[in-house]
Chain A
Amino acid sequence: MALASTLPKIVARDVDCFYGDKQALFCVNLDISEKQVTALIGPSGCGKSTFLRCLNRMNDVIDGCRVTGKLELDAEDIYGPDVDVVKLRARVGMVFQKPNPFPKSIYENVAYGPRIHGLVSNRGELDELVEWSLEKAGLLGEVKDRLQEPGTGLSGGQQQRLCIARAIAVSPEVILMDEPCSALDPIATAKIEELTDELRENFTNVIVTHNMQQAARVSQRTAFFHLGILVEEGETGKIFTNPGNERTQDYITGRFG
Chain B
Amino acid sequence: MSEATLGQSRRTDVHTSDAAQRRLRRRYAAERRFQLYGLFAIGIALFALGWLLTSIVGRGYTAFTQSRVVLEVEFARDVLDPDATGDRQVLSGANYAALVKSSLREQFPDVSGRRERRALNALVSSGAAFQLREMVLADPSLVGTRRAVSVPLSDDSDMFFKGFIRRDVGESERKLNDAQVGWLDALQERGLVERVFNTTFLTSGDSREPELAGIWGAVVGTTLTLLVTLLLCFPIGVAAAVYLEEFAPTNRWTDLIEVNINNLAAVPSIVFGLLGLAVFLNFFGLPRSAPLVGGMVLALMTLPTVIIAGRAALKAVPPSIREAALGVGASPVQTVLQHVLPLALPGILTGTIIGMARALGESAPLLMIGMVAFIVDIPSGLTSPSTVLPVQVYLWADSPERAFVEKTSAAIMVLLAFLILMNLAAVLLRRKYEQKW
Contact = CB atoms under 8 A, between A and B. Distances in A.
A63 B250 contact: yes
Given A56-B327, A58-B327, A103-B343, A116 B320 contact: no
B323 interface: yes
A253 B109 CA distance: 120
Contacts of B323: 58, 61, 94, 96, 100
Interface in B320-338: 320-331, 334, 338
A232 B325 CA distance: 33
B321 A93 contact: no
A101 interface: yes
B437 interface: yes
A103 B329 CA distance: 17
B343 A163 contact: no
A168 B182 CA distance: 93
A90 B338 CA distance: 17
A162 to B, nearest CB: 11
Contact of B437 (A63, A103, A170): A103
Given A104-B437, A116-B334, A86 B321 contact: no
B339 interface: yes
Nearest to B342: A103
Interface residues of A, number: 28
A150 B320 CA distance: 17
Residue of B322, B324, B327, B343 with most partner-chain A CB within 10 A? B327
A63 B383 CA distance: 48
A117 interface: yes
Given A61-B322, A98-B320, A103-B437, A93 B343 contact: no
A167 interface: yes
Interface string A117-153: 1000000000000000000000000000000001010
Interface in B16-39: none
Contacts of B437: 102-104, 150, 152
Nearest to A60: B326
Contacts of B250: 63
A167 B328 contact: yes
Interface string B385-423: 000000000000000000000000000000000000000
A102 B329 contact: no
Interface in A46-73: 56, 58, 61, 63
Chain B interface main SS type:
helix
Contact of A89 (B321, B322, B327, B339): B327
A87 interface: yes
Residue of B322, B326, B343 with most partner-chain A CB within 10 A? B326
Contact of A100 (B320, B330, B331, B338): B320
A35 interface: no
Contacts of A63: 250
B330 A163 contact: no
A113 B327 CA distance: 9
Given A86-B331, A150-B437, A102 B326 contact: no
A19 interface: no
Nearest to A110: B328
A94 B322 contact: no
A75 to B, nearest CB: 21
A170 B328 contact: yes
Contacts of A95: 327
Contacts of B328: 89-90, 93, 112-113, 116, 166-167, 170
A86 B320 contact: no
Contacts of A102: 321, 324-325, 339, 437
Interface of A: 56, 58, 61, 63, 86-87, 89-90, 93-96, 98, 100-104, 112-113, 116-117, 150, 152, 163, 166-167, 170
27 contacts: A58-B323, A58-B326, A58-B327, A61-B326, A63-B250, A86-B330, A86-B331, A89-B326, A90-B329, A93-B328, A100-B318, A100-B321, A100-B323, A101-B324, A102-B321, A102-B324, A103-B321, A103-B437, A112-B328, A112-B338, A113-B328, A116-B330, A116-B334, A117-B329, A166-B328, A167-B328, A170-B328
Given A87-B329, A100-B323, A112-B330, 18 more contacts: A56-B327, A58-B326, A58-B327, A61-B326, A63-B250, A86-B331, A89-B328, A89-B329, A96-B327, A100-B320, A102-B321, A102-B339, A103-B437, A113-B328, A152-B437, A166-B324, A167-B327, A167-B328
Q: Which 10 A-B pairs have the closest CB atoms?
A: A90-B329, A103-B437, A100-B320, A113-B328, A89-B329, A94-B327, A100-B324, A86-B331, A86-B329, A170-B328
